[in-house]
């Protein structure tokens, strides 16, 4: 009986040694199939080869189990190594049909190490339970972030629109100011032109008045008064000649018409000269008295006066009037 126990204990020690050396000893000479993945050596913070058998409690075990490790699941008994519930399993050896757990590390991290009650060190994915409150919080934070980003984008767009509107208003105001300045400048130029035109007109009127005054002074001289007297005498002579020959034949009237035209021209010249005579254009009062006597006997420009061209001497109305005047003169002479 004791011999059987020692055999079983030795077999169990061989099994544990096989697993531990493959898992932790890079220089292990354990044989495996050519299809098995390479062993990834690593140091453990749990196992210590020097104290493995002396201090089993160093790996957190309260004692060795009283029986052999359980068999692995059926899917781990394939010819090639695959990942099972408890980690990667080695392929079946030709001399042993029982599956053996090896210390092969998977290509990707499967999570922190887990130690079973049988002493096996396995890697299992860390279980993260579903947390609806955390997911809702993350979703709410993402929605809030998107809302903040959208609000910031709206604020940016509104600010850009306000800046563009402000720029348009400023441009419109600047154009309005420029147009107002142009209108004011045009008004100033027009006012300046009107002022210059008024000054030029006043200057011309002043020059014309001065010329008229000079002309009047020239006509108001004593020499000009004598000239007017000579003109009056010539006019009187022509009038007598025309009136005397008023009853001539029609074919002889050309000489009378010529004298009548001369008489009319002399009368118009006398009227134009005398109309400019005034007290302020004569140098002395004596000259003005002599000119005033002549001016009173001459019709004014605004008064109608008779001309030979409008009332020829052979006009019937004028003949009748002249006969009446002659009859009255004859009666006056007979009485006296």
Among the candidates 169, 184, 217, a domain finishes at 217
**In this structure, is the dihedral angle defined by the CA atoms of residues 27, 32, 38 and 44, taken in order, positive or negative?**
negative
141 and 244 belong to one structural domain: no
Q: Among the listed ranges 107-116, 261-270, 294-303, 324-333, which one has the minimum average pLDDT value?
A: 324-333
> Average pLDDT, whole number, for the chain?
68
Specify if 108 maps to a domain.
yes
Which has more confidence, 175 or 311? 175
Domains in the chain, number: 3
110 and 11 belong to one structural domain: yes
167 and 192 belong to one structural domain: yes
Question: Is the pTM of the predicted complex or chain greater than 0.85?
Answer: no
- Check residue 105 and give its pLDDT: 47
113 and 86 belong to one structural domain: yes
**Residue 126 predicted with pLDDT over 80:** no
Among the candidates 103, 123, 143, a domain finishes at 123
Domain boundaries, position 288:
220-322
Contact 90, 99 (CB under 8 A): yes
10 and 118 belong to one structural domain: yes
231 and 301 belong to one structural domain: yes
22 and 105 belong to one structural domain: yes
Tokens of 268: 């118009």
Q: How far is CA 111 from CA 125, 135, 236, in A?
A: 5, 22, 154
Which has more confidence, 247 or 86? 247
Tokens of 33: 């199939």
Q: In percent, how much of the chain has pLDDT > 90? A: 19
Q: How far is CA 307 from CA 114, 297, 320, in A?
A: 153, 16, 17
């Amino acid at each position: 009986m004791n011999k059987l126990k020692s055999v079983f204990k030795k077999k169990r020690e061989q099994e544990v040694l096989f697993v531990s050396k493959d898992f932790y000893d890079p220089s292990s000479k354990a044989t495996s199939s050519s299809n098995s993945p390479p062993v990834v050596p690593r140091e453990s913070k749990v196992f210590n080869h020097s104290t493995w058998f002396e201090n089993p409690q160093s790996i957190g075990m309260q004692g060795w189990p009283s029986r052999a490790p359980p068999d692995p699941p059926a899917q781990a008994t394939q010819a090639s190594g695959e990942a099972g519930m408890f980690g990667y399993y080695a392929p079946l050896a030709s001399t042993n049909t029982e599956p053996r757990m090896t210390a092969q590390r998977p290509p990707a991290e499967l999570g922190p190490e887990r130690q079973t009650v049988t002493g096996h060190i396995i890697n299992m994915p860390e279980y993260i339970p579903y947390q609806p409150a955390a997911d809702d919080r993350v979703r709410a934070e993402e929605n809030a972030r998107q809302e903040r980003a959208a609000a910031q984008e709206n604020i940016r767009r509104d600010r850009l629109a306000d800046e563009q509107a402000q720029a348009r208003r400023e441009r419109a105001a600047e154009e309005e100011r420029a147009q107002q300045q142009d209108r004011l400048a045009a008004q100033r130029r027009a006012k300046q032109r009107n002022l210059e035109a008024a000054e030029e007109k006043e200057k011309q009127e002043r020059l014309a008045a001065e010329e008229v005054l000079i002309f009047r002074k020239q006509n108001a001289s004593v020499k000009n008064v004598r000239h007017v007297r000579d003109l009056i005498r010539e006019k009187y002579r022509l009038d007598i000649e025309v009136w005397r020959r008023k009853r001539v034949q029609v074919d002889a009237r050309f000489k009378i018409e010529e004298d009548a035209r001369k008489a009319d021209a002399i009368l118009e010249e006398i009227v134009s000269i005398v109309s400019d005579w005034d007290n302020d254009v004569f140098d002395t009062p004596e000259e003005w008295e002599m000119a005033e006597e002549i001016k009173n006997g001459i019709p004014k420009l605004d008064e109608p006066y008779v001309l030979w061209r409008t009332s020829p001497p052979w006009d019937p109305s004028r003949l009748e009037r002249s006969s009446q005047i002659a009859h009255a003169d004859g009666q006056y002479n007979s009485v006296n």
